[in-house]
Amino acid sequence: MANGAVERLLASALIAFGSVGLVGCAPQSTSGFQAVADPSPSAAAIQRQPTATVVPTSTTNAAAAQPPAPAETVAPTSTSDYRIRSGDVLEINVFGLQDFNRDAPVDAAGTIGLPLIGAVPVAGKTVRQVQEEIAERLKAKYLQNPQVLVTVKDAVGLRVAVQGAVRNPGIFPLHGDTTLTNVIAQANGFNDISDSSQVLIIRNTDQGRVAAKVDAGAILSGSATDPQVYGGDTVVVGESFIKNAERETGSLLGIAATMLVFHGL
């Protein structure tokens, strides 16, 4: 190949390389994360944690935000005080009534269908309340002292979504008290371009959706407390623009080298 063609090929590669560097090295911001939240939630609605910094999602001065407090609508982490909702699946067992036992999905109307007693409204109730309701209906016509056990087999409100720079993003169930690092571990940990200092916990509260930025690296090093997550939370792990730029640069140089070999240079 003529020297002029070689120079043009290398120049094209260098221009592309420079573009990747400029894009990848731009100052990182949380604006992309803020867009997930509602435009004007109150920062006081999210639980305060030593490792969490509230990310304001409006133009309000962040320094003026009051110390966040737990929201009343935060979903519980266990089924004992969980309020059943449509989409959940309940496991029903009645001692001595084998044909009655089954998995009962909660329909869009918030009810479950059971033999003998028909549709039972369960949405908004606790497991204990549902047990009492079923027992009362069975006692009225069929059993003298029914022993009813209801468990939440699959709870829509006891799940947390993990997104961003993790190896296996997805939606994961909560079992008892669950912390941030627990759910990241369920997602198989950080991937090779993650920034563990840029982790957001997004939560639905009485005031709307709010977000708190957490340094998970500090948690893993033992220098910060691991915050608890709740049903309905979304965890977003940010990407490191440096690691991402390095990966893109490596790919670009590999393409350039392949082109040179292809042209016999």
Q: E strand or H helix at 177, and its extent? A: none
| Residue ranges in the chain assigned as alpha helix (H) | 3-24, 31-34, 127-141, 180-186, 216-220, 241-262
C-alpha count within 13 angstroms, C-beta hemisphere, residue 213: 17
- Is pLDDT larger for residue 31 or for residue 164? 164
Q: What is the pLDDT of residues 189-214, one digit of tens each?
A: 999 999 999 999 999 888 888 999 99
Rg (CA), the chain: 26
| Extents of the domains making up the chain | 3-25+244-262, 31-74+157-239, 89-154
Q: Domain 31-74+157-239 classified CATH 3.10.560.10?
A: yes
pLDDT at 79: 62
Minimal CA–CA distance to 129: which of 94, 95, 83, 162? 83
Which of 159, 135, 164 has the alpha carbon at shortest distance from 147? 135
CATH number for 89-154: choose from 3.40.50.300, 1.10.10.10, 3.30.1950.10, 1.20.58.100. Answer: 3.30.1950.10
**pLDDT at position 56, please?**
44
Cβ distance 138 to 117 under 8 Å? Answer: yes
**pLDDT tens for each residue of 82-129:** 899 999 999 999 998 999 999 999 999 999 999 999 999 999 999 999
pLDDT-above-70 percentage for the chain: 60
pLDDT > 90? residue 236: yes
Query: For residue 161, what are the β-bridge partners?
Result: 171, 234
pLDDT per position as a tens digit, 10-53: 334 433 334 333 233 333 333 333 333 333 333 333 344 444 55
Residue with tokens 């468990």: 151
Predicted TM-score of the model (pTM): 0.57
